[in-house]
Amino acid sequence: MKIWGTLSIYLGKQFLKNIGIVLAILMAIIFLVDFIELLRRSTGKENITIWMLANLALLRLPNLILTLLPFVALFGSMLAFFRMSRTSELTVIRASGVSAWLFLMPALLLAFAIGVFTVGIINPIASAMSAKASQIEATQLQNRSSLLFLSSNNLWLRQTDRDGLSVIHARGAINQGIDLTDVIIFRYDLKEQFIGRIEAKRALLRSGYWELKDVLMTSPEQAAVIREEMTLKTDLTIAQIQESFSPPATLSFWELPKFIRTLEEAGFSALNHRIYWHSLIASPVLLMAMVLVAATFSLRTTRRGGGSILIMAGITSGFVFYFFTDIIRALGMSGNLPVLLAAWIPAVAIIFLGVAMMFHLEDG
């Protein structure tokens, strides 16, 4: 038992060390690529310094790394197992009667622990940094401010046109924001001076205008006017409204359930946020699955050779996993798959694949 405890600690250290190496390399590459892309996008824009772009790239980095964490687990595990294969450590361990399942246990448990720690601790930090990065990017690179603010049973929209500014408040939304109920519109001129208020029972978003029903118009300079219908010009589209919601990556794992409830109470779809939240829950299982897949490619080299071919096969499996996950997510977003299946199919499918390949390798 004491020997196995010492061996487990050693194997765990090797796993963490190689995961750290892959993580550091990937962070450097992602930061450099993202920084160069931000430089390209900022060309011709005034008041943007290189330090501002570097800060923006750093703020975006943690969330990008979390997205690629399964690849870190895959390539880090492959690196650890290949290194131990080349030094014949795995051969000695196997010759001593330790099964593959037993010496994989430290890596599997650490992968699960890393997943739990990432979801519970790192994700909130990364989401806060991502939210800050999104704010800087919107104001500095895209020259726009948020169109929308959402709270429980309250929706605020901001739109500008050649005549001035309109701030729209609604108690609820139907059909993904196309149909607003109990609407109040505050009108301002180009100098942001208040010029009037419009109340309406309903506001329907059409192509280029809002169609208002049961309208009451008031202003400081004239008496109230009642109309059955009227129109208000707008450049807003349903896509712009939905894009103004906080992206799932800017909300922490602990904040998402409340935001999902608020979104649904306001009459909007929270499908993307639900899938993202369940994907976070599934991520520890997914990291374990990637360790199993890495082991099936790495352990075969100790028996049959052909290391370079198996390395390429492992890398290819990573890209296949990425496209498979993307397809399943798209099916979930389109409503063709239930949320739970869209979030859990990649993790469950890959872990079953890894277990099957390990059984074939160990017992086949």
| 187 and 129 co-located in one domain | no
**Tens-digit pLDDT profile for residues 119-131:** 999 999 998 888 8
3-state secondary structure of 15: helix
**pLDDT score of 60 more than 80:** yes
Is residue 261, in this structure, part of any structural domain at all? no
How is residue 182 annotated by DSSP? E
Q: Do 189 and 216 meet the contact criterion of CB atoms below 8 Å apart?
A: no
| 32 and 59 co-located in one domain | yes
Highest mean pLDDT among 35-39, 191-195, 353-357: 35-39
| 23 and 48 co-located in one domain | yes
Q: How many CB atoms lie within 10 A of CB 250?
A: 20
C-alpha closest to that of 166 among 132, 143, 190, 182? 190
| 283 and 137 co-located in one domain | yes
Q: Residue 195: which domain range?
A: 148-243
Is residue 188, in this structure, part of any structural domain at all? yes
CA dihedral 120, 122, 128, 133 (to 10 degrees): -150
- What confidence tier does 144 reach under pLDDT thresholds 50, 70, 90? low
C-alpha closest to that of 42 among 53, 56, 31, 32? 53
Is residue 259, in this structure, part of any structural domain at all? no
Q: Annotate 285-312 with DSSP letters as a single string.
A: HHHHHHHHHHHHHHHTHHHH--HHHHHH
Provide the domain count of the chain.
2
**Tens-digit pLDDT profile for residues 228-248:** 888 888 877 776 666 666 678
